[in-house]
Amino acid sequence: MSRFTPHAFALLRFFAGVMFAMHGTRKLWGWPGEGNAATAALSITAGWIEVITGTLMAVGLVGSYAAFLASGTMAFAYWMRHGTKAFLPIENRGELAVLYCFLFLWIAAHGSGAFSLDALRTRRQTHDG
Amino acid sequence: VERFLGRFAPPLYAILRIIAGLMFLLHGTQKILGWPGGKGGGGPLPLLPTIAGWLEMILGLLIAIGLFGSFAAFLASGEMAVAYFKAHAPQAFWPIVNEGELAVLYCFLFLYIAAAGSGIWSVDAARKGMRPHVG
């Protein structure tokens, strides 16, 4: 299986990024789903961060920085909304936030990997230099 | 960020694997033992959730301690794919709406772990490290 590791990483990065961005679109424009768009300043800020960093991670452009910022946002969201309600993530409904937080922290360290714009940019640099 | 976080990639991967494994394990204990959260609420479980619960307990534990991590993660990934299409996908198209986002994320994460292996801080790594001494 190990020769598929770059492919599996690219799939994981892409789907996590897209789903993360959709939390943002739901907050900002009420789509997908039937909720209303958010009005609180904090939610709007979070929504923009999610849209922008999620998209950047999905296409793999400055993926490390985007993932680092997204990870921090999730840590903040967890302690703001979930961590105070119950101890275990499965009970306080913060499991998704925990998983995103640690996943993005690792992506920040790992970089965008294969099939990303970052990979294209690096390749061009090595050709030029 | 890559430059100053890059050398922490192996430990961060281990932390991710351990946390994901433990949270996955808790889904199993919630189904089988009714803890945490006490969702079980009386009556024996139907067959399919029982199987899913045992799979989650066993595979979650194996992934967390990193024993046969690749095989365990591959099975767990498959289980999440089944769970997604059985429980969530019929309800709505977007994962964020049908509440299957967590299942999607686990599915792809475990698929990656299946391909990459357990990494450091795992029983697999300890076993591999022992082999040259024995052989």
pLDDT tens digits for B8-20? Answer: 899 999 999 999 9
pLDDT for position B3: 62
* CB proximity list for B62: less than 8 A, separation 6 or greater: B21, B68, B69, B72
Q: Which of B23, B101, B104 sits opposite A90 (nearest CB)?
A: B23
| Mean pLDDT calculated for residue range A16-29 | 92
Q: What is the pLDDT of residue A108?
A: 93
How many H helices and E strands in chain A? 6, 0
B82: pLDDT strictly greater than 80? yes
Record the pTM: 0.89
Mean pLDDT score of chain B, rounded to an integer? Answer: 86
d(Cα A73, Cα A50) in Å, to the nearest integer?
Answer: 8
Running DSSP on this structure, what letter comes out for residue B55? H
Three-state DSSP state, B29: helix
Provide ipTM, 2 decimals: 0.88
CA A87 to chain B, closest CA, distance in angstroms equals 10
Question: Are A23 and B106 an interchain contact pair (Cβ–Cβ within 8 Å)?
Answer: no
- pLDDT tens for A64-97 read 999 999 999 999 999 988 888 888 888 888 899 9
Nearest 10 degrees: CA dihedral of B39, B101, A4, B69?
-20
- Interior/surface letters B42-56, b for 16+ CB within 10 angstroms, e for the rest: eeeeeeeeeebbebb
The answer to whether residue B63 scores a pLDDT higher than 70 is yes
Average pLDDT, chain A: 88
Interface contact B1-A96, CB threshold 8 A: no
pLDDT at A91 (0 to 100):
82
Q: What per-residue confidence (pLDDT) applies to B134?
A: 42
Confidence of residue B2 (pLDDT cuts 50, 70, 90): low
